[in-house]
A and B are shown apart, each in its own frame.
Chain A
Amino acid sequence: MEAAVPSGRLEISCGNKIPKSTPCPRPVPGEASGGCSFDGAQITLIPIADAAHLVHGPMACLGNSWESRGSLSSGPELSAYGFTTDLGEQDIIFGGEQKLHESIHYIVSRFAPPAVFVYTTCVTALTGEDIEGVCKAESERLGTPIIPVNSPGFVGSKNLGTRLAGDVLFQHIIGTTEPEQTTSHDVNLIGEYNIAGEMWYIERLMQQTGMSILSRITGDGRFREIGWAHRAKANMVVCSRALLGLAVQMERKYGIPYFEGSFYGAKETSYSLRQMAYLTGDRDVERRVDKLAAREEMRLSLELEPYRKQLKGKRAVLYTGGVKSWSVITALQELGIKVVGVGTNKSTAEDVSRIAARIGDDAEYIPEGGARQILKTVRSRKADMVIAGGRNMYMALKEQIPFVDINQERHKAYAGYDGLLSLAKQLVHTLQHPVWELTAKLAPWEEETEFAD
Chain B
Amino acid sequence: MSERLNIVDHNQLFRQEKYVRQREGKRAFEAPCSPEEVTSTLEYTKTKEYKDKNFARTAVVVNPAKACQPLGAVMAALGFEKTLPFIHGSQGCTAYFRSHLARHFKEPVPAVSTSMTEDAAVFGGMRNLIDGMENCIALYQPQMIAVCTTCMAEVIGDDLSAFLANARQEGALPEDMPVPFANTPSFSGSHITGYDAMLRSVLETLYNKSGRTPQPGHELKLNVLLGFDGYTGNFAEMRRILGLFGVPYTILGDHSSNFDSGATGEYSYYYGGTPLEDVPKAADAAGTLAIQQHSLRKTLGYMKRTWGQQVSSVSTPLGIHATDRLLEEISRLSGREIPEALKQERARILDAMMDSHAYLHGKRVAMAGDPDMLIGLIGFCLELGMEPVHIVCSNGDRKFEKEAELLLKSSPYGAEATVHCGQDLWHMRSLLFEDPVDLAIGSSHLKFAAKEAKIPLLRVGFPIFDRHHMHRYPIIGYQGALNLLTQFVNTVLDVMEEQAPDHSFDLVR
B19 contacts chain A at the CB level, 8 A cutoff: yes
Q: What 1/0 flags go to A98-116 for Cβ under 8 Å of B? A: 1111110111001000000
The 4 closest A-B pairs by CB, nearest first: A36-B92, A60-B68, A197-B10, A30-B135
B505 contacts chain A at the CB level, 8 A cutoff: no
Q: What 1/0 flags go to A39-62 for Cβ under 8 Å of B? A: 100000000011000100111111
Q: How far apart sit A375 and B93, CA to CA, in the bound complex (Å)?
A: 25
Q: Find out whether the CB atom of A62 lies under 8 angstroms from the CB atom of B64.
A: yes
A34 contacts chain B at the CB level, 8 A cutoff: yes
B445 contacts chain A at the CB level, 8 A cutoff: yes
**Among the listed stretches B107-115, B312-320, B330-338, which one makes contact with chain A, having 4 or more residues with CB under 8 Å of it?**
B107-115
Q: What 1/0 flags go to B267-295 for Cβ under 8 Å of A? A: 11100000000000000000000000000
Residues of chain B whose beta carbon lies under 8 Å from any beta carbon of chain A: 1, 3, 5, 7-10, 13-14, 19, 22-23, 26-27, 29-31, 53-54, 57-69, 71, 86, 89-100, 102-103, 106-108, 110-118, 120-121, 128-129, 131-137, 139, 150-152, 155-156, 185-188, 261, 263-269, 426, 445, 448, 465
Q: Find out whether the CB atom of A225 lies under 8 angstroms from the CB atom of B29.
A: yes
13 further interface pairs, Cβ-Cβ under 8 Å (given A398-B266, A398-B267): A30-B132, A30-B136, A31-B136, A35-B91, A60-B71, A63-B64, A67-B445, A72-B10, A75-B30, A86-B61, A92-B155, A426-B7, A429-B1
Q: Which of B103, B150, B265 contacts A439 (CB 8 A)?
A: B265
Chain A stretch 309-324: residues in CB contact (< 8 A) with chain B: 310
Cβ–Cβ < 8 Å partners of A63 in chain B:
64-68
Q: Find out whether the CB atom of A57 lies under 8 angstroms from the CB atom of B151.
A: yes
Looking at chain A's contact residues, is the secondary structure mostly helix, strand, loop, or mixed?
helix
Q: Find out whether the CB atom of B117 lies under 8 angstroms from the CB atom of A58.
A: no
Q: Find out whether the CB atom of B61 lies under 8 angstroms from the CB atom of A85.
A: yes
Q: What 1/0 flags go to A393-430 for Cβ under 8 Å of B? A: 11111111000000000011100001001100110110
Cβ–Cβ < 8 Å partners of B94 in chain A:
32-33
A200 contacts chain B at the CB level, 8 A cutoff: yes
Q: How far is the CB of A185 from chain B (nearest CB, A)?
A: 17
Between A33, A83, A156, the greatest number of chain B beta carbons within 10 A of the residue's beta carbon is seen for A33
Q: Find out whether the CB atom of A30 lies under 8 angstroms from the CB atom of B108.
A: no
Q: Find out whether the CB atom of A75 lies under 8 angstroms from the CB atom of B23.
A: yes
Instruction: List 5 A–B pairs whose Cβ atoms lie within 8 Å, in order of A's numbering.
Output: A29-B131, A33-B95, A64-B100, A394-B102, A399-B267
Q: How far apart sit A54 and B61, CA to CA, in the bound complex (Å)?
A: 9
Cβ–Cβ < 8 Å partners of B27 in chain A:
75
Please, which residue of chain A has its CB at the minimum distance from the CB of B194?
A: A60
Q: Find out whether the CB atom of A59 lies under 8 angstroms from the CB atom of B115.
A: no
Q: How far apart sit A57 and B89, CA to CA, in the bound complex (Å)?
A: 15
Q: Find out whether the CB atom of A369 lies under 8 angstroms from the CB atom of B155.
A: no
Q: How far is the CB of A267 from chain B (nearest CB, A)?
A: 21
Q: How far apart sit A49 and B27, CA to CA, in the bound complex (Å)?
A: 13
Q: Find out whether the CB atom of B261 lies under 8 angstroms from the CB atom of A398.
A: yes
Q: How far apart sit A240 and B343, CA to CA, in the bound complex (Å)?
A: 62
Q: How far is the CB of A45 from chain B (nearest CB, A)?
A: 16
Q: How far apart sit A428 and B268, CA to CA, in the bound complex (Å)?
A: 28
Between A30, A50, A425, the greatest number of chain B beta carbons within 10 A of the residue's beta carbon is seen for A30
Given contacts A29-B114, A30-B112, A411-B9, contact A127 B62 (CB under 8 A): no
Cβ–Cβ < 8 Å partners of B448 in chain A:
67, 80
**Among the listed stretches A13-21, A118-126, A245-253, A280-288, which one makes contact with chain B, having 4 or more residues with CB under 8 Å of it?**
A118-126
Cβ–Cβ < 8 Å partners of B113 in chain A:
27, 29-33
